[in-house]
Amino acid sequence: MPPLLHPFYPAVPDITWLISLVPLGIKTIQLRIKDQPLDEVEKQISKAVQICDRHDCTLIINDYWREAIELGATFIHLGQEDLALADLGAIRKAGLKLGLSTHSHEELEIALAAKPDYVALGPVWETSLKKMKWRPQGLERLQKWVQKSPVPVVAIGGITLERAPQTFATGAASIAVVTDIVFHENPERRVKAWLALCKQ
């Protein structure tokens, strides 16, 4: 049985990134669409499902669980606010796997009560992606999450290729990467470097 998540887990803002990066050999990717009309979201999810099916890549849809169900996706990721509003019964009935964000011990307890397939902890380091009310969590807390969680832990936030070895040393199952790919001068080359690191 293949692993739930590949150790390298990029999260990208739109379908153009999947088109260019998934054929490079990525085996887990999140489509994280923000501020788009619903019909555009549906088009992108539908196309993303096709691309990932073709390349044997696990596709994780951020937030849009209803559309994920309707369009044949099999995995979603929810933040804590989205979790509070989501219909977990419908998600489970549809057979979707579920990843959840956590930033505190309280949020970890809330997430684990929902019986997710993984939990994410972040930001591990300072991140420029978005304003966060949470201070950087650090590697020590990440290691505690790994020890405490009965499901795989994904590390996210400020993680670069250079920081990856010490992040993996905590026991994290996967590293979710955003800025180190999306804002890199050569994203394709950076992805290949991540993939090479994960083979070691």
Q: What is the pLDDT of residues 132-177, one digit of tens each?
A: 567 899 999 999 999 999 999 999 999 999 999 999 999 999 999 9
Q: What is this structure's pTM?
A: 0.95
Q: Do 51 and 19 touch, CB atoms closer than 8 A?
A: yes
**Predicted local confidence at residue 122, as pLDDT:** 92
The series of mean pLDDT values per 10 residues for the chain, 200 residues long, is: 82 97 97 96 98 97 98 97 96 97 95 97 81 81 96 96 97 96 97 95
98's tokens = 């579920």
| Calpha distance 181→21 (Å, rounded) | 10
**Predicted local confidence at residue 1, as pLDDT:** 41
**Predicted local confidence at residue 129, as pLDDT:** 59
Q: How many CB atoms lie within 10 A of CB 138?
A: 13
**Predicted local confidence at residue 126, as pLDDT:** 84
Question: What is the homologous superfamily of the domain 8-199 according to CATH?
Answer: Aldolase class I (3.20.20.70)
Task: Dump the DSSP string for 182-197.
Answer: HTSSSHHHHHHHHHHH
| Calpha distance 5→2 (Å, rounded) | 9
**Predicted local confidence at residue 2, as pLDDT:** 54
Q: How many CB atoms lie within 10 A of CB 31?
A: 28
Where helices occur in 22-64 by DSSP H, the ranges are: 38-54
